[in-house]
Amino acid sequence: MNNVAIVGRPNVGKSSLFNKLTNSKKAIVSEFEGLTRDRQVGKTVINNLTYEIIDSGGLNFSKNNNALDSQILNQTNLAADEADLVLFVVDYKSGLLPDDQVISKLLRKKDKDICLVINKVDGVSDEIAKLDFTKLGYQQVICTSVSHNYGIDSIVELIVHKLDGIPTSNEINDYFKIAILGKPNAGKSTLINSLIGSDRLIASDLPGTTIDSIEIEFELNSDKYILVDTAGIRRKGKVTVKEEKFALLKSLESAKNANFILLIIDSSVGITSQDQSLITECLKSFKPLILLFNKWDLLNQYEKERFDSELEKFNLNFGFIDNIKISAEKKTNLSKIFKNIKAIRQHLSKEYKTSILNKLLEDALINHPPSISKGLRPKLKFMSFISKSPLSFKIHGNHLEDLAPSYKRYLDNYFRKALSLQSIPLKMIFEASDNPYAHKAKKVSTGLVTRRKIKNQLRKKLSSKN
């Protein structure tokens, strides 16, 4: 017994409470309602015991329900079913609303241990705050003001008293984190649901269904993974709402914190300039990357041939990145994804001997030496292995600041091909050797014409004084 679910109407403070209890900023908090849709799961450690906290989407029965609302209700029901303790959050400032009563009836049918949490209690006593909600008939009631940290200790005490918790383990977290990125409605949530074999995430034809970044633990053939579903990334110029900007930042942050990136591209739309910008952004994080061309089943033969010809042009710049044509909905070619991930992980576990790297550097210089810049040719002396994640090499030499960007790209491509680094971004660090004579002032050499001008200027100064 260690699961706590947070349930309630939209905008009553569920996500704020979740963030407080988990000591994180995993859930997006805003004055706009309806930003939490999927179940967000986090952990809190109290007295060396671990408890699982589940945030759920806001339930709104007063408006016309659409397909998305029914999916949110389904996710909330699953959260309550998994929980050993339910925190039913209401808003003191709004008072008791019909939706609160509907949610209360739903929860009572589940026969769960329920605590009513009256949030936003500011400037009034707990007794007054409880008056309006006595109709619900709960014996366990806690008044809080999450934004002011009031009542949080009481909730923590309740969790410790009611639940057993799991002893905190000192084992190293060996989960391999995979961030799944892409434009809105590319099929990210559908892919995760198909991979884990359940409707864990809300999947909809409406763009922007996913707002939060949701982490899901997943195990396959004794390998442990964390799949991170992220909000769809649109062009920065089209992102105007503050919450969407925050969701965009969280998506990019998820990519930086992940061990691996799967970038989904809607093949029915084609490879757009925005997709290419996303690929460039992912490569900047120096994380291994695989491209998934989703919805391949929707294309007819002519469209597939046209896509392949477009892909040939695309591969001129991004040919080193593995790509797989899939259908997340029909589960086509999904087994290839983890097969490729496993192969790339094995490649990343390698260490590279300095002798091998220097032989490759020597061959690269013979094949194509750097061009002369400012009368000097950059001299690349030796190379060393720095780190596995990101995969980094350091090249030492003289006048390396004068290396042309095109030559750096040449070295990047040469080593990637020589070391078979498919889908693995390579970080090349260029370090120039210190010049022991740099502190000495250089003598300025002047030509005959310059010396004559200097003499003439001196003569003019002397004549003007006389």
Statement to judge: residues 249 and 182 lie in one domain:
yes
Of 87-101, 115-129, 173-187, 194-208, which gets the smallest average pLDDT? 194-208
Domain final residue, candidates 135, 167, 199 = 167
* Whole-angstrom distance, CA of residue 398 vs CA of residue 222: 49
Binding residues for GTP: 8-15, 55-59, 119-122, 182-189, 229-233, 294-297
Statement to judge: residues 357 and 316 lie in one domain:
no
Instruction: Kindly report the CATH number assigned to the domain that includes residue 317.
Output: 3.40.50.300
Structural domain harbouring 452:
350-466
Binding residues: 8-15, 55-59, 119-122, 182-189, 229-233, 294-297
- Residue 250 is predicted with a pLDDT of 72
- pLDDT tens profile 259-308: 999 999 999 988 988 888 888 888 888 899 999 999 999 999 999 999 99
Statement to judge: residues 202 and 131 lie in one domain:
no
| In contact, 357 and 383? CB cutoff 8 Å | yes
Domain final residue, candidates 333, 348, 363 = 348
Statement to judge: residues 223 and 160 lie in one domain:
no
Statement to judge: residues 85 and 96 lie in one domain:
yes
DSSP state of 349: T
- Report how far apart, in Å, the C-alpha atoms of 287 and of each of 92, 290, 355, 413 are: 46, 10, 26, 17
Sequence-separated (6 or more) residues with CB below 8 Å from residue 438? none
Residue 239: strand, helix, or coil: coil
- pLDDT tens profile 295-346: 999 999 999 999 999 999 998 888 889 999 999 889 899 999 999 999 998 8
CB-side exposure of 204: number of CA atoms within 13 Å? Answer: 18
Q: Is the model's pLDDT at 441 over the cut of 80?
A: no
What backbone torsions phi and psi does residue 349 show, to the nearest 5 degrees? -75, -10
Statement to judge: residues 50 and 190 lie in one domain:
no
Domain final residue, candidates 105, 139, 167 = 167
| In contact, 395 and 365? CB cutoff 8 Å | no
Residue appearing with tokens 């409605």: 185
Residue 265: strand, helix, or coil: strand
Statement to judge: residues 180 and 322 lie in one domain:
yes
Residue 283: strand, helix, or coil: helix
pTM score > 0.85 for this model? no
- pLDDT tens profile 125-183: 999 989 989 988 889 999 999 888 899 999 999 999 888 888 876 555 678 899 998 88
Sequence-separated (6 or more) residues with CB below 8 Å from residue 265? 182, 183, 186, 271, 275, 291, 292, 293, 294
Q: Alpha helix locations (H) across 145-241?
A: 152-162, 188-196
Statement to judge: residues 93 and 186 lie in one domain:
no
N- to C-terminal Cα separation, the chain: 103
| In contact, 99 and 61? CB cutoff 8 Å | yes
Statement to judge: residues 74 and 147 lie in one domain:
yes
Statement to judge: residues 325 and 183 lie in one domain:
yes
Statement to judge: residues 252 and 103 lie in one domain:
no
Statement to judge: residues 110 and 90 lie in one domain:
yes
Q: How many domains does the chain have?
A: 3
